[in-house]
């Protein structure tokens, strides 16, 4: 699909970013959509590629009241055969702290689960040339796509 048509589809659907992947492993490409504007994100929805029905939805990742932070900026959805990774700048206490990479494994008919959750943090008063600190945000519990809240701990 050329860029013009793809941008028209995104603006019509209300999606800020949309990627195609066979999430439910039925042989048809499904859609992972980030809804809202670039700085006023609402939710992430996974839609069935056959009938556009919502398979799973996450409303809490971008909820400022739930996360007690003003969301910064969504960067990308990276796709591989059995995983997708959400890449975004995140904040806490209204301060931008770092870049988050959260990877979900997809499985036939089951809701995607977090398999990797890393947070690259730059020191707020540190030097620009200092390497970011990597924090592993994985918990001991199974975290599903719809309940992922984007917080460490």
pLDDT tens-digit series, residues 26-36: 999 999 999 88
What is the rounded average pLDDT of the residues 32-46? 85
Q: Residue 153: helix, strand or coil by DSSP?
A: coil
What local confidence, expressed as pLDDT, does residue 115 receive?
Answer: 93
Residue 126 has pLDDT above 70, yes or no: no
Each residue's pLDDT tens digit, 98-113: 788 999 999 888 999 9
Q: Taking 80 as the threshold, does the pLDDT of residue 63 lie above it? A: no
Q: What is the pTM of this model?
A: 0.80
Signed CA dihedral, 71, 45, 15, 88: sign only = positive
Question: Reading across the β-sheet that carries 40-47, which strands appear in turn?
Answer: 15-21, 30-37, 40-47, 54-58
Domain extents in the chain: 3-146
């Amino acid at each position: 699909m050329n860029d013009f048509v793809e941008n028209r589809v995104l603006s019509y659907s209300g999606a800020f970013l949309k990627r195609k992947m066979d999430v439910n492993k039925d042989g048809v490409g499904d859609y992972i959509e980030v809804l809202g504007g670039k700085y006023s994100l609402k939710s992430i929805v996974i839609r069935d590629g056959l009938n556009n029905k919502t398979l799973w939805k996450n409303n809490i990742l971008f909820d400022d009241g739930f996360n007690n932070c003003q969301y910064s900026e969504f960067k990308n959805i990276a796709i591989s055969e059995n995983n997708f990774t959400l890449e975004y700048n995140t904040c806490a206490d209204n301060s931008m702290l770092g870049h988050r990479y959260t990877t979900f494994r997809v499985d036939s008919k089951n809701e995607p689960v977090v398999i990797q959750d890393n947070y690259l943090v730059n020191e707020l008063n540190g030097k620009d040339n200092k390497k970011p600190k990597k924090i592993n945000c994985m918990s001991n519990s199974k975290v599903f796509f719809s309940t992922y809240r984007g917080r460490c701990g």
